[in-house]
A and B are shown apart, each in its own frame.
Chain A
Amino acid sequence: QSALTQPRSVSGSPGQSVTISCTGSSSDVGSYDFVSWYQCHPGRAPRFMIYDVTKRPSGVPDRFSGSKSGNTASLTISDLQTEDEADYYCSSYAGGYLRYVFGSGTTVTVL
């Protein structure tokens, strides 16, 4: 059972924007600006996409952006491309014994 809640799937046409939510609690997302996002293609290593809520690692297109409000973080993919079709997971520092928690994962489909 994942600690952070994400929608099971989102979809959009090429060129459109989609937003994935990641809802936690005051013990994780709401307490720390330590939310990150990962892109998972089948059979490939997960890729680091967003860190510290809003920052993009080198090499990640600026079509990917992150934000947070209260206990919910979000990943927005603008100008959707076919190669963006993948599973996306959020993660947050949680402190205490749990330490790091992941979201349930969201499948992005490009129509």
Chain B
Amino acid sequence: QVELVESGGGVVQPGGSLRLSCAASGFTFNIYAFHWVRQAPGKGLEWVAVLSSYGIDNYYADSVKGRFAISRDVSRNTVYLQMDTLRAEDTAVYYCVRSKATSWHNFDFWGQGTLVTVSS
């Protein structure tokens, strides 16, 4: 069955870095685009970043541009989110989400999420 399993969350100090991983299984990895979507405590969903099915095109929310980087390892069927210069407002559950290569706007399967807490 389809699975997206996030890992790498934890507590980090402001200004620090963290790398999230998303292990995919149960489907053909390289025909999907992948996103990261986050949800701060008590808040709504916020789109963070997307990586194309070719692994070349990537786009970011203005709030993370220049600090976060999305990438993938096709050999490991894994997507990553490198988060640098973290701020308190980056505290959230981060979800790995897939979408078909022809319809990036449809987030058709989500992982369970991993919690990132930025605090001193």
Chain A residues engaging chain B, CB cutoff 8 angstroms: 2, 32, 34, 36, 38, 44-48, 51-52, 57, 89, 91-93, 97-105
On whether the beta carbons of A91 and B111 are closer than 8 Å, the reply is no
User: Which residues of A lie under 8 Å from residue B44 when comparing CB positions?
Assistant: 2, 89, 102-105
| 5 examples of A-B residue contacts, CB within 8 angstroms | A2-B44, A89-B44, A98-B61, A100-B50, A100-B104
> B55-87, CB under 8 A of A: which get 1 and which 0?
000010110000000000000000000000000
On whether the beta carbons of A46 and B105 are closer than 8 Å, the reply is no
Taking CB as reference atom, which chain A residue is nearest B47?
A100
CA distance A97 to B59 in the complex (A): 8
Extra contacts, 10 of them, besides A44-B112, A92-B105, A105-B45 (Cβ < 8 A), are: A45-B4, A45-B112, A52-B106, A57-B108, A99-B61, A100-B50, A102-B37, A102-B44, A102-B47, A104-B44
On whether the beta carbons of A45 and B111 are closer than 8 Å, the reply is yes
User: Which residues of B lie under 8 Å from residue A34 when comparing CB positions?
Assistant: 103, 105-106
A-B pairs with the 6 shortest C-beta distances?
Answer: A100-B47, A102-B45, A93-B105, A34-B105, A45-B110, A51-B106
CB distance from A68 to the nearest CB of B (A): 14
| Contact A91-B105, Cβ < 8 Å, known A45-B110, A102-B45, A105-B44 | yes
User: Which residues of A lie under 8 Å from residue B46 when comparing CB positions?
Assistant: 2, 102
CA distance A103 to B43 in the complex (A): 10
Taking CB as reference atom, which chain A residue is nearest B45?
A102
CA distance A38 to B110 in the complex (A): 10
On whether the beta carbons of B45 and A99 are closer than 8 Å, the reply is no
CA distance A77 to B54 in the complex (A): 37
CA distance A98 to B59 in the complex (A): 9
CA distance A100 to B105 in the complex (A): 7
User: Which residues of A lie under 8 Å from residue B27 when comparing CB positions?
Assistant: none
CB distance from A63 to the nearest CB of B (A): 20
Decide yes or no whether B107 CB sits under 8 A from chain A: yes
Contact of A97 among B62, B106, B111 (CB under 8 A): B62
CA distance A85 to B62 in the complex (A): 33
On whether the beta carbons of B95 and A46 are closer than 8 Å, the reply is yes
On whether the beta carbons of B62 and A46 are closer than 8 Å, the reply is no
